[in-house]
Amino acid sequence: MEVLNFIIPFIVLLTVVVFIHEYGHYYFARKYGVGVTDFSIGFGKEIFGLNDKNGTRWKFCLVPLGGYVKFFGDRNVFSQTEQDELLKKYNKTDRNKLFVTKPLYQRSLIVFGGPLANFILAIVIFAFIYMFSGKDFTPAKISEVQENSPAFLSGLEVNDVIMSINNNKIRSVLEVSTHINASTKDSVEIEILRNQKELSFEIIPTEILSEDNLGNKVKRKIIGIKISPLNNEFNKQKLGPTKAIYYAVGETWFVTKTTLKFVGSMFQGKGDSSQLGGPIRIAKITGQVAQFGVIAFLSIMAYISISLGLINLFPIPLLDGGHLMFYAFEKVLGKPLSQKTQEGFFRIGLILLFSLMFFTTFNDLKDLVLF
């Protein structure tokens, strides 16, 4: 029964973010007249489905770890010669429904539509939360500075009000820890307000292994302070649509930027690769978060949606970003890459994806104390 508490929320979350991703592809495909034969949530054997008036088969399949949209004809055509051979199989009306006959910008938008839809979903979710649950705007005041801590040695004092961290304005007590841990530098720059004067401090955090609010072991950066609301009053506001969307876009951009910085730090050998997780860890966290209610569940859905959109934009063959990379080459060269070249890239992409899957699964199992 406990396993179902993790699996059911995970499947619901994954179904929504995958559906939105694939619908992004579907929307632009239909917009530009590309025929869509299949819209699938999951892989493998079909469980159930239905056909719409446009001839698209909408279906759920046995393995719910992803999805796909299949276009009319063969969209994985590698060379112009093969495209010519493909065109001979269809009459003029059907040719207009082929993905490969569309202009480069339309093919690019069809591919980019999936990740774009994921970012839009995240913005919509955040905006919904800010409108109906509210957003915290409580100023962050330091209530305690631990002796001999990085904050103590740098000169921070009790009653200092934190204004910004690494040039990111701090609007809420909830953002202090987030911005400290999001930093990929050895030090963080903290600007505070003390006796109506703005002061700046460069602080090197200490990294510790601790438990988060869900009981999971995580590495965190701390500077040795405790934060309390200014005047001991919380200020949570329900926002109107315009402000909600503004802050939702900001949150989506912050998560995207932070994720890219984290990936960059791993390539530099500074990031903690043990923090990378796969489906098992996502299922575990989703199940834990779901127990805190709808708002918490929607929040994790938004973060996962951003991650899915961002990962798919990485220039790795087999992902959307890989296809966009091929289109960039096509734009520069004036023709598609040869079949042999693309097949070589696809093999490399397959190796990279399987390596990533193996690595994240290993981290997941290690997290479950199986190694």
Residue-level pLDDT at 191:
93
pTM of the complete model: 0.85
At residue 233 the predicted structure's pLDDT band, cuts being 50, 70 and 90, is: confident
pLDDT band at 78 (very low <50, low <70, confident <90, very high): very low
368: pLDDT strictly greater than 60: no
pLDDT digits (tens, 9 = 90+) for 322-358: 999 999 988 998 888 877 787 788 788 788 877 777 7
- For position 77, what pLDDT does the model report? 38
Over range 26-48, report the average pLDDT: 92
Q: Which residue ranges make up each domain of the chain? A: 2-132+300-367, 136-237
Q: Is-contact 130 317, C-beta < 8 A?
A: no
Mean pLDDT taken over the chain:
84
pLDDT bracket for residue 80 (50, 70, 90): very low
- Active site (annotated) includes residue 22: yes
Superfamily of domain 136-237: PDZ domain (2.30.42.10)
What is the pLDDT averaged over residues 37-43? 91
Work out whether strand 135-136 and strand 57-71 pair parallel, antiparallel, or are unpaired. Answer: unpaired
**Marked catalytic residue, from 2, 22, 175, 189:** 22
Closest by alpha carbon to 255, among 189, 182, 169, 312?
182
Q: Which 3-state string (H, E, C) describes the chain?
A: CHHHHHHHHHHHHHHHHHHHHHHHHHHHHHHCCCCEEEEEEEEEEEEEEEECCCCCEEEEEEEEEEEEEEECCCCCCCCHHHHHHHHCCCCHHHHCCCHHHCCHHHHHHHHHHHHHHHHHHHHHHHHHHHHHCCEECCCEEEEEECCCCHHHHHCCCCCCEEEEECCEECCCCCHHHHHHHHCCCCCEEEEEEECCEEEEEEECCEEEEEECCCCCEEEEEECCEEEEEHHHCCCEECCCHHHHHHHHHHHHHHHHHHHHHHHHHHHCCCCCHHHCCCHHHHHHHHHHHHCCCHHHHHHHHHHHHHHHHHHHCCCCCCCHHHHHHHHHHHHHHCCCCCHHHHHHHHHHHHHHHHHHHHHHHHHHHHHCCCC
